[in-house]
Chain A
């Protein structure tokens, strides 16, 4: 069975600090997809990134970067120079076989608080 663990329930940092959100996953499949979603206080789920299991290249998008370590089943998310608008709950998610029919397995989320 697949499982996503986000051990950090809540993180609070001061604006402009860098912050890393941890995600550890478990799956028996060799092909799978990993995701990060952002849930701001307004409640919607905003797609941030998708990685497939064959692509271990780290990715950077503006202030966001993702570190995928397949050997240790880590898919961490770093926000550089955090801003108050980054305050949200961030969910890591896993889809085992892809192909469109599979539901995502979410972690419990990390509540990120950016203090001004």
Chain B
């Protein structure tokens, strides 16, 4: 069964550094999403992406964040200058064209900012 994949599984970075988290959504899915989950807390929506542009974003998704679909398969989340509070699990999700209301999540990337 097709799955959303994310790389790396764990990323450690120094405060102030840029990081790029990568996702490969399920093939033929149309909508892509990023969420984050700070340790022990709930999952929070960051941004949705459709047709090569942002559809919706939360107040968490400030100018430090950006998303891109650089090719036909990858979907990336960039954090320009990481802060300690960016440490979290970041989940990518995608929705199929046959069921745009259901989101299928990847395994997550744990980001640790030191």
Contacts and interface: CB of A to CB of B under 8 A. Distances in A.
B104 A47 contact: yes
Interface SS, B side: strand
A45 B105 contact: yes
Contacts of B50: 100-101
A106 B91 CA distance: 13
Interface string A9-51: 0000000000000000000000001010100001111110010
B31 A43 contact: no
A94 B104 CA distance: 14
B48 A33 contact: no
Interface residues on A, range: 20 to 34
Contacts of B102: 35, 47, 50
Contacts of A50: 101-102
Contacts of A93: 43
A91 B108 contact: no
Given A91-B43, A107-B42, A102 B105 contact: no
B108 A33 contact: no
Contacts of A46: 105
B42 A99 contact: no
A42 B45 CA distance: 21
A101 B51 CA distance: 11
B107 A103 contact: no
Given A43-B89, A45-B91, A98-B100, A103 B105 contact: no
A105 B31 CA distance: 17
Contact of A43 (B35, B58, B107): B107
Contacts of A47: 102-105
Interface of B: 30-31, 33, 35, 41-48, 50, 55-56, 58, 89, 91, 93, 95, 100-108, 110
